[in-house]
DNA sequence: AGTAGGATAATCT
DNA sequence: GATTATCCTACTG
């Protein structure tokens, strides 16, 4: 796959693009990662798990921009995650970069992720952005123009591509749009969505007000 | 091995 | 006010 072929590929739907990103190389801030795990998110209509499902907002605006740019979002009050925007401008869609193997700049990655084993340096979407030092300031940047983040093809992966449900999503939990390289140690463990029980106004709380 | 709870803030209802 | 495309720590077996 040539860089031009990769760029043209990104006009397609996220679920068609995603498997081809496995084995590709992402470089940012002195660290290069070979992608081993990604997830596809479609745009408006049909994919309620996608941030773009209900149309453009300030947060997801870059996902409706031209393909081949970054969509970086902030979540859980502390984590950044990096997507590659798909589809032509005006249509939402993207591929979440979930995990990979650090193939260059490993000393920098180790500094950014103190205490982590080499295997865990980019094993998870928020870990990957820490290793690459990517945050919201990278939202919307082009990936093929010599900017802070660049994406290019790598060697075709020897391992088979496997698919399954996406990690941690609360809707469309059975859509098999997670793609990873079989038996690769840097692929993150699958976790299903864990709903939090934060409603404590339920028991023995309101009725105590006497005394 | 696996599971449970907490951290922490933008976004959405 | 509830939820979240997550991760870390601490516990149980």
The band of A169, judged by pLDDT with boundaries at 50, 70 and 90, is: very high
Range from A31-40, A98-107, A192-201 carrying the lowest mean pLDDT: A192-201
pLDDT tens digits, A75-131: 999 999 999 999 999 999 999 999 999 999 999 999 999 999 999 999 999 999 999
* CATH number of A3-210, picked from 3.10.300.10, 3.30.470.10, 3.40.50.1820, 3.40.50.300: 3.10.300.10
Give φ, ψ of A34 to 5 degrees.
Answer: -90, 120
**Strand B within 7 A of A74 CB:** yes
Quick one: CA torsion of A173, A175, A180, A185, rounded to 10 degrees?
A: 20
DSSP state for residue A142 in the 8-state scheme? B
Check if the beta carbon of residue A183 is closer than 8 Å to that of residue A57: no
- What pTM did the predictor assign? 0.93
Mean pLDDT, range A26-52, rounded to an integer? 95
Report the mean per-residue pLDDT for chain A. 92
What ranges do the domains of chain A cover? 3-210
Task: For residue A45, name the pLDDT band (cuts at 50, 70, 90).
Answer: confident
Share of chain A above pLDDT 90, in %: 88
Q: For residue A6, what pLDDT is reported?
A: 98
With H, G, I as helix, E, B as strand and everything else as coil, classify residue A200. Answer: coil
Angle at the Cα of A158 from the Cα atoms of A157 and A161, rounded to 5 degrees: 70
How far apart, in whole angstroms, are the C-alpha atoms of residue A200 and residue A211? 21
State whether the beta carbon of A57 lies below 7 angstroms from any atom of strand B: yes
Closest nucleotide to A136 by C1' from CA: B10
Nucleotides of B under 7 A from a protein CB: 6-13
């Amino acid at each position: 796959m040539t860089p031009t072929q990769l760029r043209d590929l990104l006009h397609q739907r996220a679920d068609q693009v995603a498997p081809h990103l496995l084995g590709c190389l992402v470089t940012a801030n002195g660290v290069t990662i070979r992608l081993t795990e990604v997830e596809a998110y479609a745009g408006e209509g049909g994919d309620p798990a996608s941030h773009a499902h209900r149309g453009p907002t300030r947060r997801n605006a870059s996902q409706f921009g031209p393909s081949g740019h970054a969509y970086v979002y902030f979540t859980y009050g502390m984590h950044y995650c990096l997507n590659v925007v798909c589809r032509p401008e005006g249509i939402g869609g993207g591929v979440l970069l979930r995990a990979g193997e650090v193939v260059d700049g490993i000393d920098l990655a180790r500094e950014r992720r103190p205490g982590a084993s080499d295997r865990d340096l980019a094993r998870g979407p928020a870990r990957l952005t820490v290793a690459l030092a990517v945050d919201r300031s990278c939202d919307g940047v082009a990936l093929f123009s010599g900017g802070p983040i660049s994406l290019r093809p790598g060697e075709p992966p020897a391992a088979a591509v496997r698919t399954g449900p996406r990690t941690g999503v609360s809707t469309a939990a059975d859509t098999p749009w997670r793609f990873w390289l079989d038996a690769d140690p840097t692929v993150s463990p699958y976790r299903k969505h864990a709903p939090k029980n934060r409603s404590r106004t339920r028991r023995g709380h309101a009725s105590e007000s006497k005394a």
